[in-house]
Amino acid sequence: MDVFGNADPNGPMIYKGLYHLFYQWNPKGAVWGNIVWAHSTSTDLVNWIPHDPAIFPSEESDINGCWSGSATILPDGKPAMLYTGINPQNQQVQNLATPKSLSDPFLREWVKSTENPLMMPTKENGINATQFRDPTTGWLGHDGRWRVIVGSKRKHGGLAFLYRSKDFVHWTKAQHPLHSNKDGGMWECPDFFPVSIKSQIGVDTSLVGPYVKHVLKVSLDDTKHDYYTIGTYNTDKDIYTPDKGHVQDTSALRYDYGKFYASKTFFDGPKQRRILWGWINESSSVADDEKKGWSGVQAIPRTLWLDKSGKQLVQWPIPEIEKLRVNPVTWPSKALKGGSVVEVSKVTAVQADIEISFKITGFEKAEVLDPSWKDPQIICSQKGASVKGALGPFGLLVLASNGLEEYTAVFFRIFKADNKYVVLFCSDQSRSSLNEDNDKTTYGTFLDVDPVHDKLSLRSLIDHSIVESFGGEGKACITARVYPIMATERGAHLYAFNNGTENVQITKLNAWSMKKAKIN
């Protein structure tokens, strides 16, 4: 979205029919530093107009940087931004900014509260001044008081400090955190919101009651991944408890099993949906980032809802992105023979949207899942796209060069385990680029689908160096950040492949070339 380094999405919201996205931005270079809040607006979440930075260092409470924060729409319709500022002592403190003119739909100018900083780390309140950041969107309790949480760390574990306020200006720290964990390190960019247990529609951040569960998402600084749990929010005690079997650490579920961090959701009231923004961090070296003059990009916005099982969230690219589709290519049902690679032609392979579904037979031939294989990412690394199995690997080779010197493989592999079949979903970056300086980590997860009775579907959105893939209709997502050298522009190809010994049936394939969004 911008020529220089950009990072965490901040304060996403809708105001008077315009979507606003703010994000961490370095106006002076391609790598992290000199952080301000860049600002863009959109009518459709696809095409964006950039504005001057909205929040930038200008006073004692933020003179060394304006770090991440969130938007809250107050009852009178006025947006309020809470954000982390870095003061002259390099302490992390929480500040408030509001629009200068509510009649300007672009909200181009912001005024900082004369009460800043509103929340301070002190020895008395037991907060580490270097680990106290990223306030969430506020929610209203039944007592009429606002609540927000701020990410922090104590010893080896993360915690979410809870603050309450009657006026959104004067805040009091609660005696106990909303939730904490003894392991997992610093909790960055926490997000706390309700999801409906009855439908896919999004709900307002302040909604509580018998028909919602709550989600707590934290970005773990130690691993640079986002993890979430689903649980229950006790409004009387202001305590969040994850459901049984869910722990807020690296064993928790993830929005995305690839490059995706510092994410934030907001409630899009007019369309009754909750939208997720995430930052796709880099796989290129710092030297390469400086050479190309930019780093970091925002992922395509996703709608997010609770799966009907109640055990996980589901995500899907916003439907507005489909306005960029042109020149559809459709295949009839066809067998994909074991060991075959078939080109999906007449598609602009560097900028495409592809949906493919598979039907599987021959389950008795499935490989047995070794009980000691606990980490799906390691299985995907050891059993990549080039390792022949029985049922799989099968899926897509994207951003592939003509001779397959380069490709990113997004695929499934089916195992037999404990009288059921398990689907492994992988994004294999090991041959994604001939540039050996890139991070080419392979990512993967188990997909909660029954391959015997459910169709096995994959959607991949491809954009030059980014591949966002959605398995099982959004039950698992993997974002790859790849920089091919040969598979660029006309040198890029798109293939369906099956490197298993057994045939699989493609039941549906639809692919589109994608127009460019207007972002400047």
Residue 1 predicted with pLDDT over 50: no
Within 10 angstroms of residue 365's Cβ, the number of other Cβ atoms is 14
pLDDT for residue 337 is more than 70: yes
The C-alpha atoms of residue 457 and residue 47 are separated, in whole angstroms, by 28
Domains and CATH numbers, the chain: 6-317 (2.115.10.20), 326-514 (2.60.120.560)
Share of the chain above pLDDT 70, in %: 99
The rounded distance, in Å, linking the Cα atoms of 8 and 452 is 40
Cβ 461 vs Cβ 321: under 8 Å: yes
Residue 15 pLDDT class (50, 70, 90 cuts): very high
Per-residue confidence band for 285, with pLDDT thresholds at 50, 70 and 90: confident
Q: What is the mean pLDDT of residues 275-288?
A: 89
DSSP string, 382-405: HT-TTS-BSS--EEEEEEE-TTSS
Res 3 pLDDT > 50: no
Active site residues: 8
CA distances from 304 to 133, 201, 301, 477 (A): 25, 9, 10, 12
> Two tokens at 500?
């298993």
Encode pLDDT of 184-214 as tens digits.
899 999 999 999 999 999 999 999 999 999 9
On whether the CB atoms of residues 498 and 337 are closer than 8 A, the answer is yes
Structure confidence by residue, pLDDT tens digits, 129-139: 999 999 999 99
pLDDT band at 31 (very low <50, low <70, confident <90, very high): confident
Q: Which of 463, 336, 468, 312 is nearest to 399 (CA)?
A: 463
The residues, any chain, with a CB within 8 Å of residue 127's CB and separated by 6 or more, are: 121, 152, 161
Strand ranges (DSSP E) for 443-503? 443-447, 456-463, 466-471, 476-481, 493-498
CA 419 to CA 272: how far, in whole Å?
41
Residue type, 215: V
pLDDT of 481 reads 95
Asked which of 2-11, 45-54, 258-267, 360-369 is least confident by mean pLDDT, the reply is 2-11
Of 95, 256, 264, 298, the closest CA to residue 193 belongs to 264
